[in-house]
Amino acid sequence: MKYLYFLTFGFALFLSCNHTTNGILVSDVDAFNTAVANATPGDKIVLKNGIWQDAELLFEAYGTADNPITLTVETKGKVFLEGGSHLNIAGEHLIVEGLIFRNGYTPTNEVISFKKDSKTLAYNTRLTECVIDNYSNPERHEQDSWVALYGKNNRVDHCHFEGKSNRGVTLIVRLNTEESRENNHRIDHNYFGPRPNLGSNGGETLRIGTSHFSLTNSNTLVESNYFDRCNGEHEIISNKSCQNTYRYNTFFECIGTLTMRHGNETLVDGNAFIGNGKASTGGIRVINGQQTVVNNYGYGLTGYRFRGALVLMNGVPNSPLNRYFQVEDAVVDNNAFVDCDHVQLCAGADAERSAAPINSSITNNVFYHQKKGTVFTVYDDVSGIDFNQNWTGSKANHKLGAGVYSAAVPLKKDKNGFLVPVKMPSGEAFTLSDKLAIKENTGAPWYSKEDKGIPLNSGKIIRIDAGQNTLFDAAKTAAPGDIVELAESGNYSTNKIIEVSKALTFRAAKGVSPKVFFEKKSLFDIQNGGSLMLEGITFDGEDAPDGSGNSVVRTSKYSMNKNYKLFIDNCNFVNLDVNHSFDVVRVFKNTFADTLQITNSTFKDVTGHVAALDKEIDDTGIYNAEYVILKNNSFTNIGKTALTLYRGGSDESTFGPFLELENCRFENIGHDKRNTTGASVLLHGVQSIEATNSSFAASKPIKTHLVVGEPVVLFDNLNLYKTPPIQVTGDQPYNIGKITSKRL
């Protein structure tokens, strides 16, 4: 083999003869396969620099403890696996390092799989300094995983995983055969970069086990990893097996929790959860038996319910494997939560989850909030929890008895810059381990962790005059983040759809009132990677085609695996009535808005919906937008609804959508015969509703259907004139916060 290699690559070797001693340089998959087939202990197979397109690699080899076989790269940071590339690893005593997967996605279920097939697994194998960056299937809800661990004694360390935006766990430990249990895997010093909100179950960053094998031991160690804004779903980590350890990990502004979903005897020790006041950031969620939560730190975590800073769940009596086992023998000791909003005890208590925690203790913790009153919410009987020597910053919650004291807790900055108690109730100092992950000591040292996304309004201003297609032409040449400024009060017309595939703003220059007309079925088409802001412009539908189904803004008709933002401020929408079902905003299935915000705007004579966010109708807890904000708007003569927001199904993996509706005026809404909802505003399965200080005249009613969890519902100070009362229905009884509406 080496003889052949010399013949083929003699010239290359002459140029870079270091490689003769450093390994077997291969430049295509055939050469790689030959090298692997002939590999003996101590060999090093080196991928040549450059782009490897559609490289489907099987690295099956058998090294020894003293002489492992290594798959590496010519130069770290210069070998890219793209297109439909993926890697299977099988055998023993192997090392894989330096690979970068980008610009594509795996055609299989796993980008890097620690198996060849169900019988041929990897053992004593190390994956180190590898990168998987935005290597996501374009079909948002097509499922795959980036790394799947099988076998035993494997290690994943100093890898960089960023931007998984389709469904499926980023890093998964499988226990599906005997050979993969009691595995002693070690997952350490990895950088888990930003993962966007999936708006669905299946967005976990790390999962160990499944409910099916959850009562077997995994014995996996997860240590000193940095989780940076891992927001896929509310389980950042889903622990689903026994005897795993999570220690010294840092969770930076992650929307979700480390969840002990299934399995027992987990140790959660010395982790830091830094929320910094960001919405819905969470900490640790305890379910099942013999869970130990010690020495952890939380700061500025705002999450509520299952996303609390610390959550002890209620269980299901005689629970099946896939539901909720009762919390028993939990030990929560020496944790410090500073300025964290919610500690949730007996969370999820309902008719099914009726088994409160038993034989558990909460000792020597600090739950100190500098501003808020009590941080505890108690949903059921806490007599099975023994509280001892805990400090809280406000009056102790009486339901917790004498073990929770109100105390002024002096704080100081520790060496990480975290605000920690000067001392714990025990009198000891609170210290985080030197092994705590920081961004700099995780991931591949040669691969940048800088954010790549370019936000709205971060670019240059492009001023355009009125006229035909000036808007279109400017959008075409604009760079991401640019602002297209309409400089005149005249008419801007376009006869082509403006594709928005980057962050773009269109706004009126100061003091002018431009009007935009369009001749195609839609004016703006938000494509994958696009975000849009509109400011100070009048959009007139007069020139739109005389057919049904027009819109001013629509999403791609195809799957978008990147979330978008849409902001509309101080705009007017008129004459959207050339034909029926003319919407302002139209979305399609498999698209997801992080934020859709409309402020200070007017809508008049619209035959369709202002926004119908109702295209995910499979009732699996999926929906089209996380935050929907309507403030200071006026809606007049809208044929269908001003807003339809739909989330069907009883899945509890997400907490949206969130709706804020404030100071809006609705008149003559919903009377078109094609408005099958019978509503002016339809909210189905919306989990947080705040609708306040608004008026409805001569309109169909607000209809609300509550589907899952404990939705937060506030309808306050709504004036209804010639409009039926608010309808609230639900699949089971709910606690509605408040409904005050006056019928005039």
Q: Which residues of the chain form contacts with Ca ion (CB under 5 A)? A: 201, 235, 653
Following DSSP, what letter does each residue of 324-343 receive, concatenated? -PPPBS-EEES-EEES---E
Distance, in Å, from the CA atom of 469 to the CA atom of 460, rounded to the nearest integer, reads 20
Cβ contacts of 638 within 8 Å, gap of 6 or more: 603, 606, 609, 610, 666, 668, 669, 670, 680
CB of 263 to Ca ion, least distance (A): 14
Long-range residue pairs from 316-323, CB within 8 A, at least 24 positions apart, any chain: 316/352, 316/353, 316/354, 316/355, 317/354, 317/355, 321/211, 321/212, 321/214, 321/215, 321/262, 322/211, 322/262, 323/352
CB of 204 to Ca ion, least distance (A): 5
Least distance between Ca ion and beta carbon 223 (Å):
22
Shortest distance, CB of residue 329 to Ca ion, whole angstroms? 25
Specify the residue, 152 or 234, whose C-beta has the smaller distance to Ca ion: 234
Residue number with CB closer to Ca ion (201 or 390): 201
CA 36 to chain centre: 38
The half-sphere exposure of 484 on its side-chain side, counting CA atoms within 13 A, is 28
Q: Which of 595, 612, 495 is nearest to 549 (CA)?
A: 612
Instruction: Kindly tell me which of 306 and 387 has the beta carbon lying closer to Ca ion.
Output: 306
Q: With contact defined as beta carbons under 8 Å apart, do 232 and 205 qualify?
A: yes
Whose Cβ is closer to Ca ion: residue 194's or residue 621's? Answer: 621
- Between 172 and 593, name the residue whose CB sits nearer to Ca ion: 172
CB-nearer residue toward Ca ion: 165 or 551: 165
Q: Which is nearer to Ca ion, 219 or 653 (CB)?
A: 653
The size of the chain, in residues, is 744
CB of 168 to Ca ion, least distance (A): 11
Closer CB to Ca ion, 235 or 380, in the complex? 235
Our CB check for Ca ion shows the closer of 623 and 635 to be 623
Do the beta carbons of residue 438 and residue 226 sit within 8 Å? yes
Query: CA of 91: how far to CAs of 20, 24, 176, in Å?
Result: 25, 19, 18
Nearest to 156, CA basis, from 122, 107, 182: 122
Q: What is the dihedral of CA 471, 475, 480, 486, to 10 degrees?
A: -10
What's the closest the beta carbon of residue 252 comes to Ca ion, in angstroms?
A: 20
What is the rounded CA–CA span in Å between residue 498 and residue 488? 20
Taking the least distance from each CB to Ca ion, the nearer of 235 and 540 is 235
CB of 233 to Ca ion, least distance (A): 5
For residue 215, the Cα-to-chain-centroid distance in whole angstroms is: 28
Of 488, 534, 496, 482, which Cα lies nearest the Cα of 515? 488
CB-based contacts of 319, cutoff 8 Å, min separation 6:
325, 326
C-beta closer to Ca ion: residue 128 or 205: 205
Q: How far is 202 from 205, CA to CA, in rounded Å? A: 9
The conformational region for residue 182 under phi > 0 = left, psi -120 to 50 = alpha, else beta, is left
Contacts of 636 (CB under 8 A, 6+ apart): 602, 603, 604, 605, 667, 668
**CB of residue 118 vs Ca ion: minimum separation in angstroms?**
24
Q: How far is CA 606 from CA 383, 436, 570, 584, 602, in A?
A: 57, 56, 17, 8, 11
Structure tokens belonging to residue 622: 């999926």
- Closest residue to Ca ion: CB criterion: 235
Q: Minimum distance from CB of 636 to Ca ion (Å)?
A: 43
Structure tokens at 63: 């090294």
Judged by beta carbon, residue 269 or residue 651, the one nearer Ca ion is 651
Shortest Cβ 655–Ca ion spacing (Å): 12
Closest distance of CB 218 from Ca ion, Å:
17
Least distance between Ca ion and beta carbon 330 (Å): 21
